Structure 1
């Protein structure tokens, strides 16, 4: 079995590499593009100075040269490179840095007299900077030639942008580029869980100063710590959906092995803990099973009542399993169950409902999921309503706490859990909207490692969805003209439109047999109404799904037609 799994992983890696090679042919600029960018950027009215901050310590010659040369090759020319060497013992380092500084007035170098760690070296490099923006770059990373051009174009398009990050790939040990990371737009909850923005990062200098710069004691997580503080000060965070840099895979690097730097993960945990304190959020932080990720569990205040609403029709075998799993496995105490029965006729189901210790509300008529949920809301009196499909079974004992700790936040309207197929594979780890498979406007995600961390999403499934009842009422509930499909997604989109967040948490896990109770209904009228309200396929873009990905299980790279002249 393990051998089969390894073969599957290797096969998947080869597929991603082939797709990425094809993506690069379609998207990376050729020489004519670079010439145009250089000419274009010279004519810009706003040409902010970008100070690239690079701490170094014993870099191999084959690392530091490509890193510095990648800066010199930038099509945007208003930059300075600020290098602080942290008392390297390798004899070639001082000579090569001195040579670059002597040969290019835009390169500044300071040699620290004693080793102080990467946070201290980063602070020394930052002290050399005079630019309007600070860019962070490791001594073994390389920039694409158009990296700074893309960043400044983003800033000029939205002048209140204070932070810019981009997508990335790895420079593999064999010298090839692979393993791309096509990132979501700014996701504050994902940033708490992991520094997904990573190395090449550009922050307005005034924001870096307001945030307090680099802090000692956070070696290995100094960028994450700075980012968490800087995003608290930033007006806008911009994302360039393009691979602008490569993170080198070297021995001892996190890029090669996540076990390489345990001290960095401990520092990252402290950075997240301090972020919670600054934001006055009571909770605890633990290091995730995937090193480099963090689980934030917030304290629940006042133990509020959670009204669980389960719509059903017949299939007592499913309903009983769902209810018993809630009763036996839930550790949260203050909950109730209301079953919304939609014309059950099966004798066994009717007998179960008639003798249930939970409240049963009859809702006759043709199946309309939205109407059932709205009827459930009318029947309960609680600050939170948790909808659960009758074909789900609770896996996580603290599933209610995991959902409640998110939706209790003032800025959050909706939270949803992780749904697994009966075989244990992911069925739902958030819902992607707009940028999904042809003919559909929304689809469940198998989000890979991001499915195992709390993050912002555009929508979550109504099969396990907790909402503030005040927001549910504010938005007039579910759209009953969408009786089967898209109603949960439509509600989440309306919540986001009203300024609320939607959160996915992996800590509420349920097993789900989708459509086992009602069958596979998906009327075209629901599609038409959803399209009319939110735009046809491709007309809306999900900020939490890269435009370079297409929805499949698992996610795959989107390959557009090749440009004619490439």
Structure 2
């Protein structure tokens, strides 16, 4: 295992019986959370055979429209029950352990700076900024709960109460730097190691309402260790400062400048969100690899949208033809100006992509399904600008269907790899889902990576012929501590599985489960650990799970 590896392949994978047991438990949970009464009755009879389940899906009654419409998205949407604030109790802490800094919701940035600077002069290990309108015994209880997890950490933060009991701010275990550029994911409550706060220069008045966000950015840049406590505790006041949007942009712009990145920084879809954009440097050649087999209607639509709308000029299309036989397709491929690479044999997505990539010479590569449609002129500029960061391995984007329903907002391992889908299995339109952010994986339908990354990994694993190869590629790409980033504001239309059809071999999925320890050992550091995806539903989970 590499010292910075985020995910680890198992040296002793589970045997077949254990894999089947894990599948049964997962299907049981999905049926309980997401299925109709008919599916809950027939589900156990289907077992873990993917083909039988596909046949059942063809004949079962249609689902309620509300499960896929945008009705669930908005200010009133909520998470399921189960995220209740933790009971707070305990004796007061000694000031040499934690200095509690109470701040009124109406306090100015100058007031907070003055309070923190005073606290930094005291001989304490930790600082804790709290809402002055709450009781002191609650402050001490919060500090005590965080302090329990403080060993070896510099910042200890927890989930926090939100605008309603069923809309808490749930946070991931790992603070990805690109997520923190998008919003203050740490928030409150957060214990801060006093000595390190002093080391990075303390609070800065010029950060204004985003003072704490600015402090977290500078702490992360210095290598501070962040520790997440997956418990809902009292946090920030409900009222946001009207200057938060402008001040957040200012501190993110400063963070990007410290990395010598000339980024465009603007307001995001929420006041607390920042959108940052990076232009490509040196305009390298990008190979766009498109696997296809017949389905000329899909391929032409994809290529027409690509060549008509794409603003970035330095790209080359590589069409990977997997034994097309229809005369119209063969005629088109014989006349196209794009490079056509023959990929004969049974469908093996990983092998087809590998052959296509190795037929090119571009410094960067995009894998693009033939059932996608480009709708945004700067899609390639935006993805390439992020992929050129030295701490980024792979970049993905948001995919939507023809009806604008979200098909992909990144992939979460919770516990099985599934597409996050705003308004479908993720009901709340919040900072997390709307941010450009670090994720465990992105779909191979649209992935951008450097040729160096591809070669260092030996390409995609061809033993995963149809599915899971793209996710496996993402997990392996993080072996050196680099990140996979999804760009929520870059959108491409995707007619999911229109090209692959019903191919979905269980062998691929079982191999992936064994390799990475899915359902048990594999954890997603970028998805809140208190969330679990069960089909089209999020269910609350406890740490005991």
Cα drift, residue 373 of structure 1: 0.6
- Please say if 1:147 is aligned against 2:142: yes
SS of the equivalent of 1:416 reads strand
Of 504, 507, 519 in structure 1, the residue corresponding to residue 501 of structure 2 is: 519
Which residue does 1:430 correspond to in 2? 410
Of 162, 169, 172 in structure 2, the residue corresponding to residue 181 of structure 1 is: 169
- Please say if 1:167 is aligned against 2:165: no
Cα drift, residue 178 of structure 1: 4.0
C-alpha distance after superposition, 1:185-231 (max 9, x if no partner): 21211111111211322211111111111111322111111111122
Contact 1:402 1:507 in 2 (8 A): no
- Please say if 1:212 is aligned against 2:201: yes
- Which of the pair has the greater relative contact order for Cα pairs under 8 Å at 6+ separation? 2
Which residue does 2:128 correspond to in 1? 135
Unaligned regions of 5+ residues in structure 1, if any?
59-85, 87-114, 255-260
C-alpha distance after superposition, 1:16-68 (max 9, x if no partner): 3xx33x443xx8458xxx57xx69x99xxxx971112223376xxxxxxxxxx
- Please say if 1:193 is aligned against 2:182: yes
Cα distance in 2, alignment partners of residues 555 and 181 from structure 1: 18
Which residue does 1:325 correspond to in 2? 305
SS of the equivalent of 1:179 reads coil
Cα drift, residue 240 of structure 1: 0.9
C-alpha distance after superposition, 1:78-108 (max 9, x if no partner): xxxxxxxx6xxxxxxxxxxxxxxxxxxxxxx
SS of the equivalent of 1:180 reads coil
Change (3 A) 1:335 1:141: farther
- Residues 87-486 of structure 1 correspond to what in structure 2 (within 5 A)? 117-127=110-120, 129-140=122-133, 143=138, 146-156=141-151, 159=152, 161-170=153-162, 177-185=165-173, 186-249=175-238, 253-254=239-240, 261-433=241-413, 435-436=414-415, 441-446=416-421, 448-449=429-430, 450-486=432-468
SS of the equivalent of 1:221 reads helix
Contact 1:446 1:553 in 2 (8 A): no
**TM-score, reference length from structure 1:** 0.77
Contact 2:187 2:236 in 1 (8 A): no
Change (3 A) 1:178 1:523: closer
Unaligned regions of 5+ residues in structure 2, if any?
1-68, 423-428
Cα distance in 2, alignment partners of residues 124 and 235 from structure 1: 20
SS of the equivalent of 1:219 reads helix
Which residue does 2:517 correspond to in 1? 535
- Residues 495-510 of structure 1 correspond to what in structure 2 (within 5 A)? 495-510=477-492
SS of the equivalent of 1:198 reads coil
Contact 1:141 1:246 in 2 (8 A): no
SS of the equivalent of 1:243 reads strand
Q: Which has the larger radius of gyration?
A: 1
Alignment length, in residue pairs?
Answer: 468
Cα distance in 1, alignment partners of residues 154 and 347 from structure 2: 49
Cα distance in 2, alignment partners of residues 346 and 407 from structure 1: 37
Contact 2:120 2:194 in 1 (8 A): no
Contact 1:548 1:558 in 2 (8 A): yes
Cα distance in 1, alignment partners of residues 544 and 524 from structure 2: 24
Change (3 A) 1:242 1:134: same
Cα distance in 2, alignment partners of residues 321 and 393 from structure 1: 7
Cα drift, residue 332 of structure 1: 0.4
Cα drift, residue 292 of structure 1: 1.2
Change (3 A) 1:516 1:224: same
Cα drift, residue 463 of structure 1: 0.3
